[in-house]
Structure 1
Amino acid sequence: MSNALPRIVPAAALLACLAAGFTTTPTYAKPAKAKAAAAATAAAAVATSAAHAKRPAAEAVDPAALRAGLPATVVSALRRANVPLSAASFYVVKVGAPMARASWNAEQPMNPASTMKVVTTFAGLQLLGPDFRWQTSLYADAQPEVDGSVNGNIYLRGRGDPKLVPEEMAKLVSTARRAGASKINGDIVLDRSFFADGFDANGTIDGESTRAYNVNPDALLYSFKTLSFTISPDPASRSVAVSVTPALAQLRVDNRLALTNGRCGDWRTRATPAITPQPDGTVLAAFDGNYAADCGEHVVNLATLSHSDFISGGFVAEWQLAGGTFAHTPGVRSGPVPRNAVLLARHYGEPLGDIVRDINKFSNNVMARQLFLTIGAEIDRGGPASTARSSTVIHKWLQKQGLDLRSLVLDNGSGLSRDERISAYDMARLLQQALASNVGPALIDSLPILGVDGTLRNRLTRANAAGNAYLKTGTLQDVRALAGYVDALNGERYVVVAYINHPNASAAQEAHDALMQWVYRGAP
């Protein structure tokens, strides 16, 4: 058995490697044959598109869609995907214009998938401010003694920081060490009371409880409650290395992978560990079997442990890494910080202006849910954070701005929901309001840029529209969505919202791509 040292991964890199896991339809690297097939399919699609482009517009577009301003390329793409027009909604308007350039089913409430994050992040920026920072605090029953001993228990209190990652935990620990604490003689008590209980009991949208995108919120969320295992073949040493982040004190890695030659095959089965609690309180991540050198390096993300396991294990690991010790193996339990407890350290997380970039660029569901709950708890301090409190606060905020969005149904604020709804028209109104607000630049800066970064980094990379569209994407089973801004070739800016709710939505990306390119050309 080996306990591999964790590879140090900065938070930005960790977010990037987890990005596929945060979306609701994760994608994985395709084997060579699949890539070739995909390339052939893409080529066929291009040829088909060219053939359709040569047809008269009257053949490609039904009269109602033509009157609504929809371009023939979009309607034709929907037809090829077998998505009826009744299952799609669009709203395109030039900023400042009194009339929409294209409007179809625009007032029909639709499932917006992750474009709902635009509502949550705009609300957060305005209600809390771009400089808002979450607090995580460490308390003790008594001040450190002269020799650094802390007699009694220590208490970790969280207020919902969405990005409490190892680098941030190390700062909290460092502050406590500078305050004179070096040896803890009691247990670890977790104060998670800032959020209401019961989020873990809500289940998941698809039953995939170990996927990173399904992690539930918690007042002491640590490192997205996701273990990232990196499997790296080394032909020179004829071995396979395994590293893991974050470091958890109780986690042990048993790496028995053997390097082989030949084709890769099903790498994921071999690279996914069996994770089991042990009688001594440790958790074992066991890898076994053969791993082909042809597979190359892969990352496997698993959300298998509890929030308590994550935050306590992460704290102990960082405490020991900083030279701190324990008088005995500490017990871990939940409970409130006593009134007479002594503050050892307080850490302020990254500013909200930076957090919303991570939420929107990488479509991070749990971070969006953390923000959504924080909005309610910070603005309406009537008790622990809950989805109902946050929904009420956001609706009141919208009404004060004259945005009575009657189609808006909020559930968890991330779009990872079958219940959330908003119409394309109402989303466009919100986007117009955001653009004119004091936080407009921060919101636009947080959106993925077409062909450049985030969830749009691989879309239309060679098209002229690349680099000129700032759009939040959204995907669920049966849902495909876009919402944001497109800067046209003539210098005009457009608000663009497009929703598809249909079993064939996953096949209709071409329709949204065609829409973005049409708007870039000035919606002629």
Structure 2
Amino acid sequence: MKRLLSRTGCWLLLVMLLFQLAAVPAFAQDTAVRAEPLAAGIEQLLAELDKNPESIGLHAGIQVYDLTEKKILYSHLADRTYVPASNMKLFTTIAALDRLGPDYQWKTEVYLTGEVSNGGVLNGDLVLKGLGDPSLTSADLQSIASALKEKGIEQVNGKLLVDDSYFDGIRLGFGWMWDDEPYGYSAQISALAVHKNAVNITVEPGAAAGDTPVLTMDPGTEYLQVDNQLQTVAGKGSQIAVERPRGTNRLIFTGTIGVDAPPYEEAVTMEDPALFAADIWMQRLGAAGIKLHPQAKAEKTTVTNGVPFYTHLSPPLSEIITELNKESDNFYAEMLLKTLGAVEKGEGSAEAGSEVVAEVLKRAGIEGGFVQKDGSGLSRFNWITASQMVRLLSFVQDQEYRDVFEQSLPVAGVDGTLKNRLKGTAAEKRVAAKTGSMGGVNTLSGYATAKNGNKLAFSILINGIYKSKYARDLQDRIAILLAEYPQSQAPGGETSEETTYKLSALLDPIVAEAEGAGITAGVLVKKAGGAEEAGEPAVWFEHEADTLLTPASNLKLLTTAAALDQLGSDYQYATELWGSAAPPSNGIYQGDLYLKGYGDPTLHTEDKLKVQEGVSIESIVAWLKEQGIKRVNGDLILDESYFDQQRLGLGWAWDDESYYYNPLLGALAMNRGTVMIEFEPGSGVGDPVPIQLLPKTDYVTVINEAKTVSADQPKTFAIERDRGTNTIHVTGNLPLGTAQDYERVPVENPALYVGTVLRETMEKDGISFGGNSDIRIGTVPAQAVKWTSFHSRPLSEIITYLNKRSDNFYAEMLLKTLGAVRKQEGSASAGVEVVMETLDRLGVPSNFDMVDGSGLTRYNLISPRHVAALLEGMAAHDEYQTYLDSLPIAGVDGTLANRMKGTAAADNARAKTGTLTGVSSLSGYVHTQDGQTLIFSIMLNGYTPKSGFLIGIQDRIVEALASYAD
């Protein structure tokens, strides 16, 4: 089915509206006659989007409710769940007003651990304790310092301590993306925070082209180290990038700024911001004339009792939420959410804060059916519906804080994030609403004053956006219709009837179940070959097949198809061994040894980490021994220059970095970028948990603090790697009786991992190194001598493993290989260019977004029609059989080994799975009962609390196709 597009007078629209009213009894009133022109106007806007290839993929949940007359005026997919972006802030701020009250003020406290002498000397420590104030500034710290001076403190002989224990130690929101971290909108969260835990960097051009640009920092601090690699060039343009390596406080500025360019400004973040606050605090104390001990150094502490020596109060919550909502401030929202948890639940965490929000929503009549993972909406794991938003906005109207809340919202054409929108329209000054925007997502929810004076609550949640302009335009045009209501003029136009397909009766009920659960379901089924036969359409079924959705690992279908097309199934990866000179005849090599990688994803050690035949570290060492090498007196140099230095895919979540499916990438990498830790319970309660590291290497440090507990105790066992390091912590309790198991953990700097294990293996096999020999990253020099080249198994085998097992590491290495081979740039972006060029030749339209090779990022957006077009194109490709053979077989192998067993689809359907939280997809080929080959693509996005529900929908569709016969 496709979207129902009704016009003025279409009785189907009235039936739809009445049905929606019945579904919301608290709002129930007959509104069909009054609402029809407004509804027809919005439907016409949606119809226009469906005709434009740059907007066809977006999908919107919309609801409009007349607060004056207590009735729904319009509802469209209002009970589907959508990623809300910054509309999530409305949930957070309303809950804060409800539980904390508009007059709530945050405290920042000062404690003394010793006595102050008559001469004003504190013979003890000075402690600054944060209680979550999001608005604390360096000027506030100056005021606090001045107040201490006025209270008689002249000198501190002890330590300067800071306490941020009011909140938990999780500094970033759930699922936030690592590549956002350097920027102010993704600042870390801490109970003691100054200047929104960011500093403002201003870049000004040098006096002449070639000069180094000047960087200034506000507030100035030594807590951050700035690496200025910028260059001044001629002209007025600027191309500036900032990077902060994960887990560090080093800022790297690269690029150029024109000599005539205006200053460039960027808010940049830091690790462990409480210590940044301590640095600023130390400066402010000195500026206030308070002498510090010469060896004074800021440290963390936890204050558990005592009376504050001084307390600073923030502005009231009413002022805080005004800045929060008008400017869409993520930091304020996150601090507010954790404050809710701390005040109401005694736990300053996002989880506890979200519990409080859920309690307020329950009071508003919203019980479940949504997910809140952060306070700001930066996380793409949040899911809400338009009807929930409207119900909450309606609830606010009966609360004492109504006016405070409404005054916090941006006003169309006037201020905040709506300052430059809707100017000169009927909506100017008549719409107050919260915006929300990030890649693929655009939302607007709030209030509108209609032309008849009625107050309307509305929510427009849009996902699947290819070009953001069309989403904003849709919101603005709806806002204008609301401001003109009830005099909105319904546009004319023909009625578009619902299309019936060959398999509609078979599949409609299954798809309806998904929609009834709030899921967006995109489905396309067509006969292989594409062309109509004997008047029969090639498409046997479709439902929202143009909707752009997150595909998860279905994206691997694109990567592997392009690889087969561009490289061929016989392509082999090379790994080369070079030397400063030829191999010596006496076995004592006096030069440097070089290992150059070309992206082989199968490079491995001969242990349980091996998943495919190919090049192993042991085989490289065996070759060296065959040449009689006994000693290397030079360095072991690893050349990974074939790929770029971007280790992670754009949009990958920071909190996945300890997991095998989130590997670090490099042209020279092994064991899919991971080490393995095997574990099992000890022999008795209280015993340490025995672990084994594979490969046995000193490249990683494993700290094992895990204990064995009785069988009836909960399992809290966890393996985590410190960010940006190779230190792995094994913690928690492992109950007796737990089966032996393992985890694979990604490592940093994959080339050095290869080099370390290579040297360790060489030494184990009797090849020694000189005392000054080192392992380092470098490039093979032009004068080097190539010793030999090792080759992987053919691409056909690599792709089979990749698709059967849905291996992210393989897919990302393959994508960068495409860029390196065809664009001479081993980057994901270059690889995507190659994929898009391949798809164009296969007849796949380009109006979708592809960002990585595996589907791990939620930046990817694609429709079932795109994927089906790819599958159809590959069905006519020379490499089709290899491609088909690479796909998991239902009930037989790979990621489908345990699905659809005992059905007509078993040992029949061949398809690629895809799974992320809130995402499930399945696309491939299946034979009907009478032997016809069908291509299908099923993509499901949205929140459901039912485990296995999305997979069940997919399996039932494929089983129905396999059982079908004309």
Q: Does TM, scored on the shorter chain, surpass 0.5?
A: yes
Equivalent position of 1:246 in the other structure: 219
Letter in 2 for 1:306: D
CA positional deviation for 1:64: 5.0
CA distance in 1, matches of 2:412, 2:322: 15
Of the three residues 427, 430, 440, the one matched with 1:468 is 430
CA positional deviation for 1:170: 1.9
Equivalent position of 2:345 in the other structure: 380
CA positional deviation for 1:205: 2.8
Equivalent position of 2:440 in the other structure: 478
CA positional deviation for 1:410: 1.7
Q: Look up the SS of the partner of 2:179 in the other structure.
A: coil
Matches within 5 A, 1:153-302: 153-200=125-172, 204-205=176-177, 207-232=179-204, 242-248=215-221, 250=223, 261-266=234-239, 268-269=240-241, 272=242, 291-302=257-268
Q: Look up the SS of the partner of 1:90 in the other structure.
A: strand
Equivalent position of 2:576 in the other structure: none
CA displacement 1:142-172 (0-9 Å, x = unmatched): 2322232212221111111111112222222
Of the three residues 389, 406, 409, the one matched with 1:444 is 406
Seen in structure 2, the aligned counterparts of structure 1 residues 305 and 439 have a Cα distance that, compared at 3 Å, is same
* Structure 2 unmatched runs, 5+: 18-38, 489-966
Of the three residues 423, 428, 434, the one matched with 2:396 is 434
Q: Look up the SS of the partner of 1:470 in the other structure.
A: strand
Equivalent position of 1:370 in the other structure: 335
CA distance in 2, matches of 1:284, 1:109: 39
Equivalent position of 2:282 in the other structure: 316
1:343 to 2:308 alignment: yes
Q: Look up the SS of the partner of 2:71 in the other structure.
A: coil
CA distance in 1, matches of 2:315, 2:467: 36
Seen in structure 2, the aligned counterparts of structure 1 residues 62 and 224 have a Cα distance that, compared at 3 Å, is farther
**Percent of paired sites with the same residue:** 26
CA contact (8 A) 1:230 1:300 kept: yes
CA distance in 2, matches of 1:103, 1:121: 25
1:395 to 2:358 alignment: yes
CA contact (8 A) 1:89 1:108 kept: yes
Q: Look up the SS of the partner of 1:422 in the other structure.
A: coil
Of the three residues 456, 477, 481, the one matched with 2:418 is 456
1:78 to 2:49 alignment: yes
CA distance in 1, matches of 2:311, 2:12: 63
Q: Look up the SS of the partner of 1:103 in the other structure.
A: strand
CA positional deviation for 1:500: 1.1
Q: Look up the SS of the partner of 2:110 in the other structure.
A: strand
1:513 to 2:473 alignment: no
CA distance in 2, matches of 1:286, 1:113: 29
- After TM superposition, the structure 1 stretch with the greater mean CA deviation from structure 2, 67-76 or 182-191, is 67-76
Equivalent position of 1:15 in the other structure: none
Seen in structure 2, the aligned counterparts of structure 1 residues 78 and 323 have a Cα distance that, compared at 3 Å, is farther
Letter in 2 for 1:359: L
Letter in 2 for 1:390: G
CA displacement 1:426-461 (0-9 Å, x = unmatched): 110110111221111111111111122111112122
TM-score by length of 2: 0.44
The structure where helix makes up a greater share of residues is: 1
CA positional deviation for 1:265: 4.1
> Cα RMSD over matched residues?
3.3
Letter in 1 for 2:64: V
Q: Look up the SS of the partner of 1:91 in the other structure.
A: strand
Matches within 5 A, 1:56-95: 69-71=39-41, 72-79=43-50, 80=52, 82-83=54-55, 87-95=59-67
Seen in structure 2, the aligned counterparts of structure 1 residues 192 and 288 have a Cα distance that, compared at 3 Å, is closer
CA distance in 1, matches of 2:341, 2:422: 38
Letter in 1 for 2:143: K
CA positional deviation for 1:102: 1.1
CA contact (8 A) 1:112 1:481 kept: yes
Seen in structure 2, the aligned counterparts of structure 1 residues 186 and 77 have a Cα distance that, compared at 3 Å, is farther
Seen in structure 2, the aligned counterparts of structure 1 residues 403 and 131 have a Cα distance that, compared at 3 Å, is same
Equivalent position of 1:101 in the other structure: 73
Of the three residues 368, 385, 388, the one matched with 1:406 is 368
CA distance in 2, matches of 1:124, 1:277: 32
CA contact (8 A) 1:225 1:306 kept: no
CA positional deviation for 1:173: 1.6
Q: Look up the SS of the partner of 1:486 in the other structure.
A: strand
Seen in structure 2, the aligned counterparts of structure 1 residues 111 and 288 have a Cα distance that, compared at 3 Å, is closer
Q: Look up the SS of the partner of 2:322 in the other structure.
A: helix
CA distance in 1, matches of 2:192, 2:391: 35
CA distance in 1, matches of 2:73, 2:445: 15
CA distance in 1, matches of 2:170, 2:254: 36
CA distance in 2, matches of 1:149, 1:277: 38
1:499 to 2:470 alignment: no
CA distance in 1, matches of 2:338, 2:250: 33
Equivalent position of 2:324 in the other structure: 359
- After TM superposition, the structure 1 stretch with the greater mean CA deviation from structure 2, 356-365 or 455-464, is 455-464
CA distance in 2, matches of 1:312, 1:93: 49
TM-score by length of 1: 0.78
CA contact (8 A) 1:83 1:505 kept: yes
CA distance in 2, matches of 1:223, 1:518: 41
- After TM superposition, the structure 1 stretch with the greater mean CA deviation from structure 2, 411-420 or 288-297, is 288-297
CA distance in 2, matches of 1:171, 1:489: 49
Equivalent position of 1:10 in the other structure: none
Seen in structure 2, the aligned counterparts of structure 1 residues 251 and 116 have a Cα distance that, compared at 3 Å, is closer
CA positional deviation for 1:215: 1.7
CA distance in 1, matches of 2:247, 2:67: 56
CA contact (8 A) 2:275 2:299 kept: no
CA contact (8 A) 2:133 2:314 kept: yes
CA contact (8 A) 2:413 2:420 kept: yes
Equivalent position of 2:97 in the other structure: 125
CA distance in 2, matches of 1:201, 1:415: 9
Letter in 2 for 1:98: K
CA distance in 2, matches of 1:300, 1:67: 48
Q: Look up the SS of the partner of 2:412 in the other structure.
A: coil
CA distance in 1, matches of 2:78, 2:231: 56
CA distance in 2, matches of 1:169, 1:422: 39
CA contact (8 A) 1:130 1:351 kept: yes
Equivalent position of 2:31 in the other structure: none
CA positional deviation for 1:335: 1.7
CA positional deviation for 1:247: 3.1
CA displacement 1:211-270 (0-9 Å, x = unmatched): 11212321112211111012345979x99664321233556779897766424242x24x
CA positional deviation for 1:360: 0.6
CA distance in 2, matches of 1:322, 1:220: 20
CA distance in 2, matches of 1:235, 1:66: 70
Q: State the number of aligned residues.
A: 457
Seen in structure 2, the aligned counterparts of structure 1 residues 216 and 127 have a Cα distance that, compared at 3 Å, is same
Q: Look up the SS of the partner of 2:201 in the other structure.
A: strand
- After TM superposition, the structure 1 stretch with the greater mean CA deviation from structure 2, 73-82 or 249-258, is 249-258
